[in-house]
Amino acid sequence: MIYLDNQATTQCDPRVLEAMLPWFGVEYGNPHSAEHAMGQTAADAIEHARGQLAELLHADPRELVFTSGATESNNLAIKGAARHARRTGDPRRRIVTLVTEHPCVLGPVRDLAEEGFEPVMLPVGPDGRLDPQRLRDALAVPTLLVSVMAVNNETGVIQDLAALAPIVRAGGAMLHSDLAQAVGKLPLDMRALDLDLASISGHKFYGPKGIGALFVRRRPRVRLVPLLSGGGQERGLRSGTLPTPLVVGLGEAAQLAALELTKEAARIRALRDRVLARLQALIPGMMVNGSLEQRIPGNLNLRLPNRDALAVMAMAPGVCLSTGSACSAAEIQPSHVLSAMGLEPDQVARSLRLGIGRFTSADELDRAADMLASAHDGVAVPA
């Protein structure tokens, strides 16, 4: 099998797995049992991992709250900020986001409408990017929170957070970003981006599934109402026993990303350009959806000229890719992202997502391009 779905998930790096293994069976103490040595050893490992992630993000370790992943982080950020504002008498009820956000951002924003908040979904252009003037116009009404993902999970298109943040500040709102597709792929600095809240997912950058984090700014302090009640772990923001092996894995993945990001991005970008050129030669008329220039190195969202994407994928089962968000896989439906970018339903149906990662080789990409071209021509390619 040739795996080209690295926006859905990445292989856990063997070095990450090696770092995690002792914490499953040898060092199995509860990190919240500080009264004895094994508990303290686990707690120290948790804090070491927190420091590793903080270094990658250029954040204070005290600003990182461990969660189960980006879905929980996004819910905690959006619902937590809104409910705290209401609890403290803040009259603002507007929450602004993009129509192309991941469902785990759109869902919480829509849920809050039932609690008296006003969801505002801003459109994007054909390139998948937000026009800053649309954000200025939206902020003419007092706004509590703006949520803009750094990198779209389907198209790989990068939003210009550095340009959008001053607009949000001028409007007096808080700024949250879903960084799930950006961490480990782009240099990130929480101070330079001027973020109040940011969501991270470990399995998107070669860490384990089931672990993530939420950046919560300390100065000026951002306050949230927690989603979970319980033992008050993670400074009361996220109760529950932390999974030491997964946290250690997240920290190791962050350290590897900090060391290898620049070199890895250049290699993956070269692979992407190589396979794009090969596919365009083999399938004349194939198009790239969204901005190619403002895109993470490993993503291609491609529009086939003549064939339905699902049909092509079925003809080439040895290539693992997708038509869009993995979270929508159980319910096949047109991509809301591509539709929002102005594509017609038939164009959306002809689009597929190709994700290149750390463990993708040039030979695999060459073979995948040949297989997809054959499938596009109606020739089945055995797995």
The H or E element that residue 82 is part of is helix 70-87
Residues 184 and 317 in one domain: no
Are residues 350 and 208 part of one domain? Answer: no
**Residue numbers annotated as active site:** 327
Rounded-to-integer distance, Cα 118 and Cα 112, Å: 8
Please tell me the least confidently modeled range out of 24-28, 281-285, 321-325, 350-354: 321-325
What span, in angstroms and rounded, lies between the C-alpha atoms of 322 and 337? 14
* In a domain? residue 381: no
Q: What pLDDT is attached to residue 167?
A: 98
Give the domain range for residue 299.
2-8+261-376
- Confidence bin at 324 (pLDDT 50/70/90): confident
Q: Are residues 36 and 182 in the same domain?
A: yes
Please give the share of the chain, as a percent, with pLDDT higher than 90.
95
What is the average pLDDT score of the chain?
Answer: 96
Q: What is the mean pLDDT of residues 66-88?
A: 98
Same domain, 303 and 283: yes
Q: Write down the pLDDT at residue 30.
A: 96
Looking at the structure, tell me whether residues 357 and 299 fall in a common domain.
Answer: yes
pTM score, two decimals?
Answer: 0.96
Query: Which of residues 200, 220, 255 is at a domain's end?
Result: 255
Kind plus residue range of the DSSP H or E element containing 97: strand 94-98
**What's the confidence (pLDDT) of residue 383?**
75
Q: Which of 255, 275, 300 is the last residue of a domain?
A: 255
Measured between alpha carbons, how far is 192 from 383 in angstroms, rounded to an integer?
Answer: 46
* Cβ proximity of 157 and 128 under 8 Å: yes
pLDDT at 332: 62
**pLDDT band at 34; cut points 50, 70, 90:** confident
- Give pLDDT, residue 326: 57
Do 41 and 150 have their domain in common?
yes
Are both 211 and 347 inside the same structural domain?
Answer: no
**Digit-coded pLDDT (tens) for 224-263:** 999 999 999 999 999 999 999 999 999 999 999 999 999 9
pLDDT digits (tens, 9 = 90+) for 86-145: 999 999 999 999 999 999 999 999 999 999 999 999 999 999 999 999 999 999 999 999
Say yes or no to pLDDT of 327 above 80.
no
Q: Cα(41)–Cα(46) distance, rounded to whole angstroms?
A: 9
Number of domains in the chain: 2
Residue 336 lies in a domain: yes
pLDDT digits (tens, 9 = 90+) for 192-220: 999 999 999 999 999 999 999 999 999 99
Residue 42 lies in a domain: yes
- Say if residue 142 is in the same domain as residue 273: no
pLDDT higher than 70, residue 325? no
pLDDT band at 329 (very low <50, low <70, confident <90, very high): low
Residue 156 lies in a domain: yes
Q: Is 25 exposed, middle or buried (0-12, 13-18, 19+ CB in 10 A)?
A: exposed
The two tokens of residue 59 are: 């954040």
Confidence of residue 382 (pLDDT cuts 50, 70, 90): confident
pLDDT recorded at residue 331: 54
Q: Is the domain of 220 the same as that of 265?
A: no
Task: Residue 221: give its domain's CATH number.
Answer: 3.40.640.10
Residue 227 one-letter amino acid: L
Q: Is 141 within a domain?
A: yes
Give the per-residue pLDDT at 340: 97
Is residue 233 located within the same domain as residue 328?
no
Of 255, 273, 304, the last residue of a domain is 255
**pLDDT value at residue 328:** 53
Kindly state whether residues 307 and 240 are assigned to the same domain: no
In a domain, 382, yes or no: no
In a domain? residue 114: yes
Surface-to-core class of residue 305, CB atoms within 10 Å of its CB (0-12 exposed, 13-18 middle, 19+ buried): exposed
Query: Is 383 inside any structural domain?
Result: no
CATH code at 298?
Answer: 3.90.1150.10
* 309 & 372 share domain: yes
Q: Tell me the mean pLDDT in the region 288-310.
A: 97
